[in-house]
Amino acid sequence: MSKQATIAIIGLGRMGANMARRLQRGGMQVVGFNRSDAVTQTLAKETGLTAASSLQDAVLQLSPKRLVWLMLPSGEPTENALQELTTRLAPGDVVIDGGNANYLDSQRRAQLLAQHQIGFIDAGTSGGVWGLENGYCLMVGGEQRDVAQLEPVLKLLAPAPDRGWAHVGPVGAGHFTKMIHNGIEYGMMQAYAEGFALLKGKTEFNLDLAQISELWRHSSVVRSWLLDLTAGFLKQDQKLEAIAPFVADSGEGRWTVDESIRQGTSTPVLALALYMRFASQDKEGYGNRLLAMMRNAFGGHLVKDKTGD
């Protein structure tokens, strides 16, 4: 007879699958469901998790009080899953949203579930693809009774039972904390990118960027995990000529800047880091074309056509 599952993870993408792996390794039985059944079945064979064929099936394989952890894209996929769960779950069950979400949506969703006496936890989750081995940083918002029910899961997902996770406040506080975390991340990444661009631009010094990034990792005030990762890929390739200069944004940076406007708090570094990502995504470049024509109109400066002439 198989061991009774403790939690269902809905959404077995890169992070959801690795979280299921980490829980299974820690001795906790997981029910997994993914839109693609092939993904679910492959992970079940690898880890021993219990495969579910639907959201309903996942819920039925749990005993009250149920824990259902969503690792779905923000927006409609999460919204649809929550709407369905209001009809599948019972009072005392708890839903955890561990994906990226606007904290205002989390507060609204908690109110929706509360109408059915279902608990809701917003868990800001950081760690990326490294979380499987290193553990995840978990910023949790919700009622104390719900967080207490989830605590054994948090202790297995975190780097250690006593660190790397925290109940940071009421519903909304988890995703709010993660939102600010990601805004800071944008700024740090932009600072490193600009600094290394300046190093590379000083061609007469012929600087070894891999050497410098490794040097800074040790006792420097700018050392960080981001620098560790940067040093790792610069050892392999400093020119990055095969990489397109396109930087995506997941939405967290936008929400952070929205919050700074809402509060009237000045966050120029975080805002500019977001705008630089927008600039990298601008294939049309209409604004820059317009600037070139303005400059030509008032000063007669040359304008380059697309051929470079």
Instruction: Report the first-to-last Cα separation within the chain, whole angstroms.
Output: 75
Identify the sign of the CA torsion 234, 238, 243, 248.
positive
Q: Is the pLDDT of residue 290 over 60?
A: yes
Boundaries of every domain in the chain: 7-169, 179-291
**How far apart, in Å, are the Cα atoms of 214 and each of 97, 168, 192, 203, 210?**
37, 34, 13, 20, 6
- Say if domain 7-169 classifies as CATH 3.30.300.130: no
Name the average pLDDT for the chain: 94
**Average pLDDT score over residue span 174-185:** 96
Q: Is the pLDDT of residue 203 over 70?
A: yes
Q: Is the pLDDT of residue 293 over 90?
A: no
Residues 6+ apart with CB under 8 A from 295: 301, 303
- Residue 74 has a pLDDT of 87
CATH code of the region 179-291: 1.10.1040.10
Q: Is the pLDDT of residue 128 over 90?
A: no
Q: Is the pLDDT of residue 1 over 70?
A: no
Position 296 confidence tier, pLDDT thresholds 50, 70, 90: confident
Active-site residues, by number, are 178, 185
Position 3 confidence tier, pLDDT thresholds 50, 70, 90: low
Q: Is the pLDDT of residue 167 over 70?
A: yes
- Residue 303 has a pLDDT of 78
> 149-153, 176-180, 281-285: which range is least confident on average?
281-285
